Amino acid sequence: MPVTNAVQNPGYQPQFQQYQQQPQEHAPRTKFDLIPMKYAELLPDLLEKNLFQTRQPSVHKNLSARFRADLSSVFHQGALGHDVEHCFALKNAVQD
């Protein structure tokens, strides 16, 4: 299918589809309740008491601007990209 644009056809009007963002399954919350300690201190206790289990690291095709190759998350079984203090999955689980 040939590409038509305004240079080739001065009367051309592009057709735009309405884009509707799909809700993300694990969308980060905007606010979390304050906890009296760091998540790095809390997580070992939660794991020891079998209240939490570590999660499989998720595979991302596109790395976000927040990705940090020098940080790893114990909650995600050592996956690179962030630490437990910046782990939205852990924060959501604690909040729940």
Note whether residue 20 is domain-resident. Answer: no
Q: Provide the token pair at 24.
A: 């993300």
Is 89 domain-assigned?
Answer: yes
Longest dimension (CA), the chain: 69
**Is the residue at 88 inside a domain?**
yes
47 domain residue, yes or no = yes
Assess whether pLDDT exceeds 80 at residue 94: yes
Query: In the prediction, which pLDDT does 28 show?
Result: 56
Task: Yes or no: say if 35 and 90 are a contact pair by the CB < 8 Å rule.
Answer: no
DSSP 24: P
The position carrying tokens 């190759």 is: 69
* Domain assignment of residue 28, yes or no: no
Backbone phi and psi for residue 29, each to the nearest 5 degrees, phi listed first? -75, 155
Instruction: Report the domain count for the chain.
Output: 1
Give pTM, 2 decimals: 0.59
Instruction: Render pLDDT for 63-86 as a digit per residue (tens, 0 to 9).
Output: 777 778 788 888 888 888 788 888
> Which range of residues forms the domain containing residue 89?
39-54+67-95
| In-domain check, residue 33 | no
Question: What is the pLDDT at residue 85?
Answer: 86
